[in-house]
Structure 1
């Protein structure tokens, strides 16, 4: 039962190599065509989302405004959000539910932040290991605790995203698997609960992409 349940996340196909990861390229279909004389509703919604995200990220960056940083984090947000959204469709592989993808992105960002911080702002990175007002006896322990918490950051970023995507899909799979055994009244209740879960998963798709982007930017700010 458990093998069949988790087989929905199995990145394998009938060919000699896995092609399910190609689903990540499907997000290109969601890029609006901006060459129309009259903007479409989809392009207007897309631009509203971009403007909202820019305003949120500007608050975090504050004086250290860098358009290149904005472009990077906006790209990560849109990529993760659209992949989460595509995973709700039937027969489309959810790439963000696998640590192969999420851990690759979180490690890439974390390593780049650490290299930049220790090379450019070495003193600041050493100071950050000991919070202000720490007693002298606790300083070695605080350095150890801060170092461990810093090292596990990419893992927590990756696990948070993948675990939330797996949890929602598993819950919908468990509920829908009981459909053939239910009578008509319980079947209507199951359909309503599935509809509520889909709405919840839509919000989770946006929230998890937002959390991943904001936490990554906060980690970058600490090194600058």
Structure 2
């Protein structure tokens, strides 16, 4: 895909949603960190449902430590892998208290060292909480980037590297939101909604799907 076509795609997505935000609910960087970690192999809807009771009970690392593993489990047991996730939340909270003064570090290397926090989670936190121009590649972004031919790669790291290279600076802070939402609601995995796609004429996917009739 050429540079001009990519720009047109980004401009359309921006015009349609000029101030995109994550669909995870949070009020501080720590809540976001926990919510993103909990969202692995779970939907944002299910995570929000759990954190609406978890965060009023504990929304700082120290408060989470005081709540304890069993306390966390009671709030997140409707989420997949909740046992492991609860243990990681507590382990990460302990590190944040002991090594970072109870604050979420604005540092990629420090974030990925936290239990249950991978590169994708760290990038989401840096982007959404601190405004960094990072691009967190999840399954939606990976699919949309490859399917449209916007930024192709064999794995999420390659797609992230390509996106960082080809997306102009003015779009970098918001692009991962646009691509996630596009993959979640339009460019669906099994049956993309090409007939109602905002960028259908710019997309280079050869097997477009349209509703019958």
- Does the alignment reach a TM-score above 0.5? no
What TM-score does the superposition give when structure 1 sets the normalisation length?
A: 0.28
Larger radius of gyration: 1
Q: Which structure has the higher relative contact order (CA within 8 Å, separation 6+)?
A: 1
Q: Which has the higher helix share?
A: 1
Q: What's the TM-score once normalised by structure 2's chain length?
A: 0.29
